[in-house]
Amino acid sequence: MLRLILFDVDGTLLSTDGQAGRAIGVALRETFGTAGPIAGYSFAGKTDPQIVFELMARAGLPRSDVAPRLPEVFERYCARLAAALDPGNTRLMPGVREVLATLAGRGDIALGLLTGNIRPGAEIKLAAAGLAGRFAVGAFGSDEEDRNRLVPVARARARELWGEEFPGTRTVVVGDAQADIRCARAGGAWSVAVASSKTPKAELAALAPDVLLDSLASPEALTALVAADG
Ligand SMILES: [Mg+2]
């Protein structure tokens, strides 16, 4: 029986040191003439479509004006992102390389993504960080605007690929934001929160994830990922 481990991207696997936020800002300005109140806006745990709708709503643009132009925004965003990211400004979070190498070497783990990034955006970031092709399945912001609906998407793709079910806590959601914990819970999955990025540990603890780690470099990280009870 396999265990499906789904990783968030930003702040969990890697950091683009603000390049991705700048790329979405440029794409919004080029498309709508404004990026809204992007300075000080928190991207943590949000899906890309949610980010666009929220920023444009705060700029006074109704959803009905924004929705038809999402493809245009994301095309500009991806072009900008691909041009901006390189191994010099896209770094892996602590412990990621070692944890992924160990998990990939086991026979009982299925590795996937659960991220608010649109799929092509996630692929650009992972490639810049040297992680291209490491995750066989994923659920993305391009699948659902509401992150809380993404666990079933990932499970369905995993079932198709590996030919087995990943019920309950045999699905593990790993992330650095409160939204990752909520989404794990919404999907009935096991939640592993990592306090290695912008969300303070106390704010993650307030949502009572099943496991709370300082980072994926913590000595207990691997045990927490592979021995989720369920
Ligand atoms: Mg994140």
User: 190: which strand partners?
Assistant: 172
Task: Please answer whether residues 154 and 137 qualify as being in contact, where contact means their C-beta atoms are separated by less than 8 angstroms.
Answer: yes
Distance 229 CA to ligand 1 centre (A): 24
- DSSP secondary structure string for all residues of 45-96: T--HHHHHHHHHHHTT--HHHHGGGHHHHHHHHHHHHHHH--TTT-EEPTTH
Distance 89 CA to ligand 1 centre (A): 17
For 113, the enclosing helix (H) or strand (E) is strand 109-114
Distance 84 CA to ligand 1 centre (A): 20
pLDDT in tens, the chain (230 residues): 899 999 999 999 999 999 999 999 999 999 999 999 999 899 999 999 999 999 999 999 999 999 999 999 999 999 999 999 988 899 999 999 999 999 999 989 999 999 999 999 999 999 999 999 999 999 999 999 999 999 999 999 999 999 999 998 899 999 999 999 999 999 999 999 999 999 999 999 999 999 999 999 998 999 889 876 54
Domains of the chain: 3-16+89-226 (3.40.50.1000), 19-84 (1.10.150.240)
Distance 3 CA to ligand 1 centre (A): 21
Task: Please answer whether residues 176 and 187 qualify as being in contact, where contact means their C-beta atoms are separated by less than 8 angstroms.
Answer: no
Distance 80 CA to ligand 1 centre (A): 20
Q: Which residues surround ligand 1, an ion (CB under 5 A)?
A: 8, 10-11, 176-177
In this predicted structure, what is the pLDDT of residue 228? 63
- Tell me the per-residue pLDDT of 155-194, one tens digit each, with 9 for 90 and over: 999 999 999 999 988 999 999 999 999 999 999 999 999 9
- Is the model's pTM score more than 0.75? yes
